[in-house]
Amino acid sequence: MAEHPWTALYPEQVPVTMQISHRSLIDAWKERVARTPQAPALAYFDGMRTVRQVDDETDALAAAFVSLGTGRGDRVGVYLQNVPQYALVLLALWKLGATALVLNQMYRGRELRRLIDDSGATGMVCTDGGLTETGQTLEGSTVRWMVSTSPLDYQTRNDARVFASTERFASASDGDLCELVDRFRGSRPDAVDLTQDDVALLAYTSGTTGPPKGAMNTHGNLLAVTATYAAWVDLQPGDVVFATAPLFHITGAVINATIALLHDTLLVLANRFHPEVAIEAFAEHRVTFTIGSITAFNAIYQVPHASREHFASMRALYSGGAPIPPATIERFRERFGVYIHNVYGMTETSSAVIAVPFGTEAPVHEASGTLSIGVPLPNLATRVVDPHGEPVPYGEQGELELGGPQVVPGYWNKPEATASTMPGGRLRTGDGAIMDEQGWVYLVDRLKDQINTSGYKVWPREVEDALYEHPAVHESAVVGHPDDYRGETVVGYVSLKSGASATEAELIAFTRERLAAYKCPRVVHIVADLPKTQTGKIRRNVLRESPDTVLDTPTA
Ligand code: AMP
């Protein structure tokens, strides 16, 4: 049998291995500037920026960051929605050899502070609206400067569906981003001799145990992913990319934003995702490629007036981050005439590494009914292994293990976590998989307790810890239950201390004060006791698979 059978499934234009010639993302960007300076690079409602403008403005912004004391290797928080400023900040930081710490806009208080403390970020770019709260959260932290920006900038349409208000707020102590760009216009930072090993993005994942871990996505990682994936979807000059995924998630940052910036394509942004606004942008800008979670496409499906016209220019549509029910793809194609290709990636692989070949339809695994996530992209070392790390035969189940230039070199300041998750540079994904003889990969089991709600990952422990802080809670366990819209929904199980009382609504509200909304349980069951192993460990799998056994027991 061929060693890499999947290469037979590669689209015509995709080589089996690809040379990554650029030394850094900035090298690749500079080539684009030289090639097509007048081409449009960024669109945001009625606002447009050419490649030349973006280059000039990111030079100015980089100079402003230098004036604030930022240089190579420094981490700077980027706490924004899908706005043009996101792309500008990424390029400006990379020009300095600094690292963008990408921060989920839904994070609040302690969640945000933990990432700042772990990363030792020294600067922060955030939205003007939430400035007071963010400032309070960062008090006494390593952050020395804060720059704010308004999502209303770079456009004039002020679409009420995605802008909470048209009010402009006072800017941060170190200035407003657009004002800084104006003030430093014409300045340029000293060129930095970057290598593929410089860290471009620090993106956090949590984990079953311990504090969150920052995956160090290097310039080399991003170059490898964007080059292989651009070949995969046959991205061509003139393509138009809509950022459906949030740019603070690795998918959005890498294969919406970075890929579009480095290839001769237009990146269309529309602030936070709104299904009606998205399809209008598809039609207005003649979008040809996008990638987002299946929940985003489900939301589009629910827009009554969404039609084939909105998708008329769409050439390639991909969805990643969460399982896709085969029936969802069918009904989407029936209504809009577009096939949704599945794609798999992780924060630790700088996003897309396994995907359905463009123009091919994914097979469904007969025994499990699971839709294939695709086949490995060029340069990815892919194996399915048993618990001892030995490869299992095709057709048998094991853990998906990945290596190659797409896999990050490790977690920020966490050599032990790096050694246990990526022994010898090979990433143990925690995803139970089967590869068939042709090389199609199916995710058939979850070896980790992670909950996947609309593509957002929730680690039960963090939610359980929030519940434990409630004075009435004796024990808590959190699991994902199937949900038609979100894929999975977060459900909590709680037993109360003797004599204590609390309501389900009260416990949910309690978590909402501590966690981003998507992590909070939608339902909390108060039960007499939680199922445990003989050694007293709570058995989440019982709650996941047969919750009735617990719910039938009357509470004391
Ligand atoms: P994240 O680090 O947030 O990107 O999450 C990575 C995890 O998302 C993977 O380990 C998988 O469990 C899950 N995942 C990513 N892509 C897919 C997909 N296409 N189908 C099913 N699960 C996926």
Which phi and psi (to 5°) does residue 224 adopt?
-65, -45
Q: How many CA atoms lie within 13 A of 106 on its CB side?
A: 15
Per-residue pLDDT at 65 exceeds 90: yes
> What pLDDT shows up at residue 552?
65
Closest ligand 1 atom to 344 CA: 16
439 touches 6 (CB < 8 A): yes
- Cβ contacts of 129 within 8 Å, gap of 6 or more: 150, 151, 164, 165, 169
Which of ligand 1's atoms lies nearest the C-alpha of 343?
19
Burial tier of 543 (Cβ tally within 10 Å: 0-12, 13-18, 19+): buried
Percent of the chain with pLDDT over 70: 98
Task: Label residue 310 exposed, middle or buried (CB < 10 Å: 0-12, 13-18, 19+).
Answer: buried
Please say if the pLDDT value at position 412 is more than 80.
Answer: yes
| pTM, full prediction | 0.93
Q: What is the CATH number of the domain that holds 532?
A: 3.30.300.30
Q: How much is the mean pLDDT over the chain?
A: 94
Residue 116: which CATH number? 3.40.50.980
DSSP element (H, E) containing 399? strand 397-403
DSSP summary character for residue 404: S
Question: Closest Cα to residue 468, out of 432, 429, 511, 428?
Answer: 511
Paired sense of beta strands 375-376 and 199-205, if any: unpaired
More confident residue, 490 or 207: 490
Domain total in the chain: 2
Task: Tally Cβ neighbours within 10 Å of residue 511.
Answer: 25
pLDDT at site 549: 79
Identify which has the larger pLDDT, 544 or 378.
Answer: 378
Residue 148 in 3-state DSSP? strand
Distance from the alpha carbon of residue 135 to the mean position of ligand 1, in angstroms: 33
Q: Which one of 150, 166, 194 terminates a domain?
A: 194
Instruction: Report helix, strand or coil for 127.
Output: strand
Residue 299 is assigned to a structural domain of this protein = no
Q: Is pLDDT above 80 for 209?
A: no
CA of 346 to the centre of ligand 1 (A): 6
- Within a domain: 199: no
Check if the beta carbon of residue 505 is closer than 8 Å to that of residue 468.
no
What is the longest distance spanned by two Cα atoms in the chain?
Answer: 72
Query: How, if at all, do strands 451-453 and 456-458 pair?
Result: antiparallel
Residue with the smallest CA separation from ligand 1 atom 8 is 321
DSSP assignment of 322-370, as one string?
S---HHHHHHHHHHHS-PEEEEEEEGGGTEEEEEPPTT-PPPB-TTT-P
Question: Using one digit for the tens of pLDDT, what is the confidence trace for 131-152?
Answer: 999 999 999 999 999 999 999 9
Q: Which residues contact 133 (CB under 8 A, 6 or more apart)?
A: 108, 109
- Looking at the domain assignment, is residue 401 inside a domain? no
Q: Alpha-carbon distance 290 to 268, whole Å?
A: 10
Domain boundary, last residue among 171, 194, 217 = 194
End position of a domain, from candidates 194, 224, 241: 194
Confidence of residue 370 (pLDDT cuts 50, 70, 90): very high
CA contacts within 13 A on the Cβ side of 174: 20
pLDDT confidence of residue 1: 45
pLDDT at residue 446 is higher than 80: no
Cα separation, 384 vs 382, in Å, equals 7
Q: Is residue 58 part of a domain?
A: yes
| Dihedral (Cα; 548, 551, 554, 556), 10-degree rounding | 140
Task: Let me know: does 366 contact 417? Beta carbons within 8 Å.
Answer: no
Q: Parallel, antiparallel, or unpaired: how do β-strands 351-355 and 375-376 relate?
A: antiparallel
Asked, for residue 62, whether it belongs to a domain, the answer is yes
What's the pLDDT at 69? 98
Where does ligand 1 bind, in terms of residues with CB under 6 Å?
Answer: 205, 250, 320-323, 342-347, 373, 429, 431, 443, 452, 457
CA of 46 to the centre of ligand 1 (A): 34
Strand locations in 88-155 (E): 99-102, 123-127, 145-149
Backbone angles phi, psi at 475, to 5 degrees: -140, 150
| Residue to mutate (ligand 1; options 217, 457, 486; most atoms within 8 A of CB) | 457
Domain-embedded: residue 403: no
Q: What backbone torsions phi and psi does residue 482 show, to the nearest 5 degrees?
A: -55, 145
Contact 431, 446 (CB under 8 A): yes
CA of 183 relative to ligand 1 center, distance in Å: 42
The answer to whether residues 138 and 123 touch, using CB atoms and an 8 Å cutoff, is no
**Tally of CB atoms within 10 A around 504:** 14
Burial status of residue 19 (CB atoms within 10 A of its CB: 0-12, 13-18, 19 or more): exposed
Residue 479 Cα to ligand 1 midpoint, Å, equals: 17
Distance 241 CA to ligand 1 centre (A): 22
207 pLDDT band, cuts 50/70/90, is low
| Mutation probe of ligand 1 site: the residue of 452, 454, 458 with most atoms within 8 A of C-beta | 452
CA of 149 to the centre of ligand 1 (A): 31
Task: Work out the pLDDT band at 3, boundaries 50, 70, 90.
Answer: confident
How does DSSP assign 222-275, residue by residue? HHHHHHHHHHHTT--TT-EEEE-S-TTSHHIIIIIIIHHHHTT-EEEE-SS--H
Distance 179 CA to ligand 1 centre (A): 39
Q: Is 60 exceeded by the pLDDT of residue 83? A: yes
Ligand 1 atom at shortest distance from the alpha carbon of 342: 19
pLDDT at 556: 47
- The pLDDT assigned to 532 comes to 87
pLDDT for 391: 96
pLDDT exceeds cutoff 70 at 555: no
Domain extent, residue 543, equals 450-551
Tell me the best of 346, 368, 518 to mutate to test the pocket of ligand 1, counting ligand atoms within 8 Å of each CB and taking the most.
346
pLDDT at residue 554 above 90? no
Interior CA angle at 254 toward 276 and 80, to 5°? Answer: 60
Q: Write out pLDDT tens, residues 33-48.
A: 999 999 999 999 999 9
Mean local confidence (pLDDT), 122-138:
95
* Mean of pLDDT values over 287-305: 96
Nearest CA to ligand 1 atom 9: 346
Stretch 411-439: mean pLDDT: 95
The average pLDDT across 68-82 equals: 98
Atom of ligand 1 nearest to the CA of 251: 4
**Are the CB atoms for 34 and 58 separated by under 8 Å?**
no
- Count of CB atoms situated within 10 Å of the CB of 554: 7
- The pLDDT tens digits of the residues spanning 232-261 come to 999 999 999 999 999 999 999 999 999 999
**Residue 310: pLDDT over 90:** yes
On whether residue 378 sits in a domain, the answer given is no
Please determine, for residue 379, whether its predicted confidence score (pLDDT) is greater than 90. Answer: yes
| Residue 425 in domain | no
